[in-house]
Chains A and B, each alone.
Chain A
Amino acid sequence: MKKIVEQNQAGMDESLIDYDVLVIGGGIAGDEAALKLADVGYKILIVEKDLSIGGRMILLSKVFPTLDCSACITTPKVSETARHRNISIFTKTEVKSITRRQDNFFDITILKRTRYVLETLCTGCKECEDVCPILIPDEYQYNQVARKAVFIPFSIAQPRIANIDIDNCILCGLCEKKCPSDAIDFTLVDTYEHLVVKSVVLATGFRLFNPTVLSRYGYGRYKNVMTAMEMERQLAPTRPYNSVLRPKDGKMPDNIAYLLCVGSRDQTVGNPICSQICCMYSTKQAQLLLGALPMADVTVYYLHVRAFGKGFCEFYNQALSMGVNYIKAKVASVREKENGNLILRYEDFSTGQVEEQEHDLVVLATGILANAEIESVFKGEKLELDPYEFVRQKDMLTNPAITSISGVFAAGTVTGPMDIPDTILSAGAAAAEATAYLKKLS
């Protein structure tokens, strides 16, 4: 690995340094922070555990409140990240430990999991995928359709390199035989690598609430109860089906319900905070559904509509004017009829009455949870978390990107739920703090 050999004014041995900054997480926050730091000349390594950078945003249909195409915004950003001469990217790689050295740099151990594909040779032609006989649920389509055991995760994946899911591979050898560039190599193994960096930016994002916990809504039991992320895929141009369809029987839905605050603002599931984005992504999806299914009715069952950002209130009013029905209510339960339709039982807050309503598809607007795994990789120093297990900001008003560890900065939803514009702002703040820190170091 190429070392930076310039001498540091403070007398630190910079020849040890592999990268100035390690960015953990290649979602939109990590990419933005990396680009900002790379533009001022720092050498950056992005470590992403998934097969592609771009995070969740690259899988969205459109963004609120502008209804711009999400992939159209994300693709140039991830391309710029991948092509930047100061940025290196390791995908399918995890950071296993971070330890501060005596010279104030960080020792990093990473685990590079093999794709069983030589990354420099793969052209992304998908010929291997064409001959693979194995079909298993596609996690990038939220299991609504199948993928092969050798696959490129999605068409705009960055990098566009095949991966072999070895746990589902029957070792038939067809992919290796077919590959025109001899890129497939089953002798490749996972490898640990050790690096030295000056600073770390955490951009590990969030988890989505698993609604099977709330069995009263029937997710996992009733096929026509789906999550908003599953609907997001159905609304995207690279959708799993030919149109928006009910997973149970392929019917075009014409009476769709959204349940807000599923797994957020709910002490019973240990997540009392608002997820910030569910009201608006549901409002966005409701509008997109009315575009895709002009005869459909969409009803949103809400506790409060939190339209707090720039243009959000107007966006909500636009949904109302398009005919989206909002009912202030608490949904108690969902039960399935024989024809796959679903009966919602709810308390209507405007009347105080318990009502029942039939819908043919129910979408759960699931909340955002912390992704606290990153805490355990720090050795010898404690990364402090807030009461909700997001990374604690030293001072969320004056230093939102500074964590409890000097030289470690936080970008995006690793510190709490936020929408895309706020994530970009947060990543910019992390890059600015990291730049100031690196300047002081030298």
Chain B
Amino acid sequence: MGTTKTTKILRETRKPPEKALENRKLFTERQKLITNSLANGLQSIPDIAKESGLEPEVVTYVMMSMRKYGEVTEIGPDEMNEYFLYQLKPKNP
């Protein structure tokens, strides 16, 4: 544990794919926009889309991925019982 020996060996013959680097940048930007939006309190997907300027389907995909990895959690449906409300999950100390 603790070394990156074989990663370095592969890096000598293989460069990280450009597309993967771009995707990472894009995903991180979107994640940041959603996090900023959720920092203001409980939000639904359309609320976040409106505030962040992201397409709603992008918010659905990125936020559900954040939920999968424990960064976001759902609280319950809104008053109209149409959309779930989400909040940031407190980080483990």
Residues of A within 8 A of B (CB): 133-136, 144-146, 149, 167-173, 176-182, 184-187, 223, 240-243, 245-252, 295, 340
The answer to whether A242 touches B4, judged by C-beta atoms less than 8 angstroms apart, is: no
Docked Cα-Cα span, A154 to B40, in Å, equals: 33
- Which of B6, B27, B77 has a CB less than 8 Å from the CB of A187? B6
Q: How far is the CA of A169 from the CA of B20 in the complex (A)?
A: 7
Contact of B61 among A133, A144, A167 (CB under 8 A): A144
With most chain B CB atoms within 10 A of its CB, the pick from A146, A149, A168 is A146
Inside 8 A of B91's CB, which chain A residues have their CB? none
Query: Which A-chain residue is minimally distant from B56 (CB atoms)?
Result: A249
From B2, B3, B84, contact of A252 by CB (8 A): B84
**How far, in angstroms, from A247 to B15 measured CA to CA in the complex?**
34
Contact sample, A vs B, 6 pairs, CB 8 Å cutoff: A134-B23, A149-B20, A167-B20, A173-B7, A240-B68, A252-B81
The answer, among B10, B23, B65, B84, for a CB contact under 8 Å with A250, is B84
- Give the docked Cα–Cα distance between A181 and B3 (Å): 12
Q: Chain B residues near A170 (CB, 8 Å)?
A: 16-17, 20-21, 24
Measured between beta carbons, the chain A residues less than 8 angstroms from B21 are 170
Residue in contact with A177 in the complex, picked from B1, B44, B60, CB distance below 8 Å? B1
Interface assignment of B79: CB less than 8 Å from any CB of chain A? no
Given the known A-B contacts A171-B11, A176-B7, A184-B6, are A135 and B65 also in contact in the complex, defined by CB atoms under 8 Å? yes
For chain B, the count of residues having a C-beta within 8 Å of the partner chain is 41
A241 contacts across to B, CB distance below 8 A:
60, 64, 67
A135 lies within 8 A of B57 (CB): no
Contact residues of A: prevailing secondary structure? loop
Q: A134-B20, A171-B14, A248-B56 are in contact. Are A176 and B3 (CB under 8 A)?
A: yes
By a CB distance below 8 angstroms, the chain B residues around A242 are 64, 67, 74, 84
Q: How far is the CA of A249 from the CA of B81 in the complex (A)?
A: 14
List of B residues within 8 angstroms of A295 by Cβ: 81
Name B4's contact: one of A146, A176, A181, A250 (CB within 8 Å). A176
With CB as the reference atom, state the residue of chain B lying closest to A137.
B61
A58–B19 alpha-carbon span in the complex (Å): 31
In the assembled complex, the Cα of A113 lies from the Cα of B9 at a distance in Å of 19
Q: Are B65 and A146 in contact (CB under 8 A)?
A: yes
Minimum CB distance partner of A170 in chain B: B16
